[in-house]
Amino acid sequence: MKRYEKNPIITSDMVKPSNPGYEVKGVFNPGAAVLGDEVILLLRVAETCVQKEGFVAVPVIRIEKGRVNAEVLEFSLSDPEVSLQDTRGISYKGTDYLSTLSHIRLARSVDGYNFEIEGEPFLFPDAPEEVFGVEDPRVTFLEGFYYINYTVVSPDGWATALARTRDFKAVEKMGIIFCPENKDVSIFPGKVNNRYHALHRPDNSIFGKPSIWYAESEDLLHWGGHRCLVRPKGDRWEDEKIGGGPPCVETPEGWLQIYHGKAEDGGYSLFGLLLDLNDPCRILKRSKEPILRPEADYEKKGFYGNCVFSNGLVEKDDGTLLIYYGASDCMTCVAETSVDEVLKML
């Protein structure tokens, strides 16, 4: 696994805010796809508000009579009803507000390294289940469509929704496919035994630790056959939780999944998992140590330091595997490898 020498490839100052009162705090955790001769990234763009002295401002989405308004909500720091929770938000009169609001923006490249970022959002919060933002997209090409699953966040928690597009111009939202609280969904890029398959990560806050689960479907909308597939090892690299990453890569040896794990010190690293081609619930190999862990300065310092997190990858014609990842929850990077090299690390 080799980091691109010009990392990071996309930073906040390269992205135009979606609202005059907003500023881009981070651009990270992109999904990835190939369309013709272009590599397309679906970037998570996290925005906060321009702050004034003596006040705290948060971005909010209001939906009234079918219209979506992105606004700035401002509070005086001298107001006793204002409670600063941490970097993630505030509470006012018992209502919680997040300090950032995420949407999904497109970036295009002909070489996979140098990207032009579009000026307007591609997917923006516009439904009650999305009012706290849309995050962390993953893209799977199936039967002529690019299916985009992404995390939706609201006062009801987080869930996973699905959208699809043929050309990354028009997009159709299809609604929630995994209900709260569930994220890190990775849809396989092909049917197995005439059914669709996915990895997902329900949150279990009472017993056990968040783990990678398996599900199957006949239509990509209704999922069943759920079972827990992979649990955290409990070592220093996978102490707290694990979750699926980009869609699996089909190889002669099996379905290759690049997943993430959270360490005992709170850091995030990437790992490899190999599943049987004909029975995706059968685990063939699993990396014992990270295939990519936070080591570069830009991976150690940021909004959430000591973090590498991947949602997207593409395989080039020469066999190079480009793994796109978020670093420190604030910028986008890429690492170069190949399927054979990753398999050697398992």
What is the secondary structure of 113-151 as a DSSP string?
A: SS-EEPSS-SB---SGGGTTEEEEEEEEEETTEEEEEEE
* Average pLDDT of span 215-237: 96
pLDDT of residue 296: 97
263-272 tens-digit pLDDT: 988 999 999 9
Per-residue pLDDT band for 87 (boundaries 50, 70, 90) equals: low
Q: Is the pLDDT of residue 85 over 80?
A: no
Per-residue pLDDT band for 209 (boundaries 50, 70, 90) equals: very high
Pairing of strands 320-327, 308-315: antiparallel
CATH of the domain at 131: 2.115.10.20
Q: 200-209, 223-232, 331-340: lowest mean pLDDT where?
A: 200-209
Per-residue pLDDT band for 95 (boundaries 50, 70, 90) equals: confident
Q: What is the pTM of this model?
A: 0.96
* Average pLDDT of span 299-323: 94
User: Considering its fold, how many domains does the chain have in total?
Assistant: 1
132-182 tens-digit pLDDT: 999 999 999 999 999 999 999 999 999 999 999 999 999 999 999 999 999
**Separation between Cα atoms, residue 124 and residue 122, nearest integer Å:** 6
pLDDT of residue 319: 86
Most confident of 50-64, 81-95, 243-257: 243-257
Residue with tokens 């990753």: 342
* Average pLDDT of span 82-108: 88
Of 280 and 96, the one with more pLDDT: 280
pLDDT of residue 84: 84
* Average pLDDT of span 286-313: 95
180-196 tens-digit pLDDT: 999 999 999 999 999 99
* Average pLDDT of span 285-302: 96
pLDDT of residue 88: 74
Q: Is the pLDDT of residue 96 over 90?
A: no
CA 337 from chain centre, in angstroms, equals: 21
Supply the mean pLDDT for the chain: 95
pLDDT of residue 86: 66
Domain of 223 in residue numbering reads as: 2-344
* Average pLDDT of span 299-307: 92
4-47 tens-digit pLDDT: 999 999 999 999 999 999 999 999 999 999 999 999 999 999 99
pLDDT of residue 66: 84
pLDDT of residue 200: 98
The long-range contacts involving 1-4, CB below 8 angstroms and separated by at least 24 positions, are 1/291, 1/292, 1/323, 1/335, 1/336, 1/337, 1/341, 1/342, 1/345, 2/335, 2/336, 2/337, 3/296, 3/333, 3/334, 3/335, 3/336, 4/113, 4/333, 4/334, 4/335, 4/336
pLDDT of residue 65: 85
Question: What percent of the chain has a predicted confidence (pLDDT) above 90?
Answer: 90
Query: Using an 8 Å Cβ cutoff, are 162 and 171 in contact?
Result: no
pLDDT of residue 178: 98
